[in-house]
Amino acid sequence: MWMNKKQKLKASYYNSFFALIVIPILCISLLAIFILRAQMVDSAVLNIRRAQDNIASVLGNEVKDVSLRLSHFIYVNDSEIVRNAARTNSDDPAEKYHYTKILTESFNYAMVPVQDILSAVFYMKSGDHTYMKSDIILNPDQLKTSEWYKEALSEPNVVKVGFYDYSVTNSRKNAYTLTIAAGMSPGPDVDREGVIEMASLFVSSQAGRLIKEYNKESMLGTAMIADKSGHVIFDAEDTKDLLPERISEEEQFSYRLNGKRYMRVVTAEPVTGLSIISVVSYDSLTRSFNRTAMILIGVMLLLFLLFYLFSSYFLKSIIEPIHNTVEGMRMVEEGNLEVHVQPKGQAELRLMIHSFNSMTRRLNSLMAENEEQQQKKHKAEIQALQSQINPHFLVNSLNSIRFIAQMSKYESIARMAEALIKILSGSFRSNNGFYTLKEELEVLDSFIYLMKIRYSDGFDIVYQVDDACLLAYVPRLILQPVVENSIVHGFDAMMEEMGTIWIVGERKEEYLFLEIRDNGKGMTREEISSLLSDHAKESERRKIGIHNVRTRLSLNYGERCSFVMESKPGEYTRTLIRIPLSGKENET
């Protein structure tokens, strides 16, 4: 049963621990993890957008720059370069070479040589063409079917731009890059000869290289460039297959492909209308989060482990000692005062357990003392019954009866016998140790009658007892030993003076006050101390009687009663007795 209660206490503690600590921490941790995950995904998407904005900015600036360069090249010096380019459309090789050389010098002077220009070409309506820098690998038919080329033809003197996801030259340095193609078809006001169909520049875009650099970062995903219709025109990593089949207009779109989750992030470039598309897997987005989450989970598990260790310590050092103490209290409640709880746990708990053990030992001691007092009380009552009328008194009384029987006509014998019967009846009437003061005085009268016969009426007794005191309950035979002490010892050696005993009884509030006073020879303080001493021997009958009265009063009333003796040698002895009223006198 004790183990069941202990297990219930532990279960209650752990239930409270989980309800108040573990579950709230788990909920808060999970909420924090979800919030952190969302924040880290948002942060990753923000980094992707920053990269896209950078790509779009570079691409837009490059498109503006190449458009301005081509326009400047066409219109510089009142279109002198266009006129020289038209003269290269000649069947005379020397003339063609001459103007091609002039055209190249003008190009180098006008354009300021830079490494990003791959090629500059004038396409003639005759099908011929003049290169000012490098040769391109584009097939003329492929070139002329390009959207930018056809748009430039349809809008003379307007620069149109197109893109290729590879280099248009044979240079390996610029392979696998993004090429910007800018073309303008000179109108009659520019090309007065009307022989030039298209002037074009091919520029290597830094946006392609930037995309390749960003693609190295897994958190940024894979970037691609798409045209207005959503067709991918540059895909450095060949990852356009990761795009969703359903095209969404949302700038940020989450989807699943082949069982994996991806996110598509789109940023539009305002100059060209192109879109920078990034595709990134959630695994890449959440990789950093997963590491952080694992650290948080590890810290949380460590905290739970510490909580568990603390709980074990708490149960062992606090709960278990308290439970042992409670079990000890239960055993005390069942009457086992021999229980001893082993001190364990914190200093305060050990002090509490020591106090409990001291309390049980004290209770056990008090119970033993109480049992001993009860035994003393019964023994005192028996001694009172045995010692109230001592053998010496009975022998003297019987001798007096025998003497009177010889000398008289038996009337006195009958009265003495009646008095003796009253005394013996008062001593042995029942097991109840109390009767009224009136009955006590009746027994005392019988005793005094016999004592007067014994001492030839050598003393007198005066009663001054209020009627209100007569029904008060008192222990049996508490006056006789005191009166006997006055007669036998107080009036001893009094020759001519008449001895007198005063019995005074008063009722004050809740107490009965009795006074026994005589005018005998008195006692010294040493004699009173010896008489009241607790070490009375069986042979000292004088001490036994007084000691018997004091012991019974103490056993019955405790500190509520008092027994005081006062005396002045040669003048008096006075005994004062205070007894609390029992309440029975109010019932009669």
Residues 6+ apart with CB under 8 A from 315: 10, 13
pLDDT on residue 412: 65
CA proximity to 341, closest of 352, 365, 333, 6: 352
**Residue 523 near residue 537, CB atoms below 8 Å:** no
What's the CATH code, domain 27-208? 3.30.450
The Cα–Cα gap between 373 and 551 comes to 10
Q: Which DSSP helix (H) or strand (E) runs through 326?
A: helix 320-333
pLDDT on residue 355: 81
CA proximity to 530, closest of 521, 540, 517: 540
Q: What is the mean pLDDT of each run of 10 residues along the chain (588 residues)?
A: 55 74 80 79 84 89 89 84 86 85 80 70 87 77 87 92 79 68 90 89 86 83 85 82 71 80 87 86 75 81 81 70 75 76 72 80 81 74 53 52 61 64 58 81 88 83 93 90 88 77 93 94 88 60 76 88 92 94 60
Beta-sheet strands, E only, within 185-274: 196-205, 222-226, 232-234, 252-257, 260-268
For helices 391-407 and 411-428, the axis angle rounded to 10 degrees is 160
DSSP 235: -
The Cα–Cα gap between 119 and 505 comes to 146
pLDDT on residue 203: 87
pLDDT on residue 1: 46
The Cα–Cα gap between 287 and 298 comes to 17
The Cα–Cα gap between 247 and 179 comes to 26
Domain map of the chain by residue range?
27-208, 289-372, 392-586
Q: How many Cβ atoms from other residues are within 10 Å of residue 298's Cβ?
A: 10
Encode 71-122 in three state secondary structure.
HHHHHHHHHHHHHHHHHCCCCCHHHHHHHHHHHHHHHHHHHCCCCCEEEEEE
CA proximity to 277, closest of 308, 303, 242: 242
pLDDT on residue 536: 47
First-to-final CA distance of the chain: 54
The 10 Å CB-count burial string (b at 16+, else e) for 348-365 is ebeebbeebbeebeeeee
pLDDT on residue 175: 54
CA proximity to 394, closest of 369, 417, 412: 417
**Architecture in CATH for domain 392-586:** 2-Layer Sandwich (3.30)
The Cα–Cα gap between 37 and 43 comes to 10
pLDDT on residue 535: 60
The Cα–Cα gap between 261 and 258 comes to 8
Cα radius of gyration rounded to whole Å, the chain: 65
Its pTM stands at 0.51
pLDDT on residue 198: 92
Q: Is 571 helix (H, G, I), strand (E, B) or coil?
A: coil
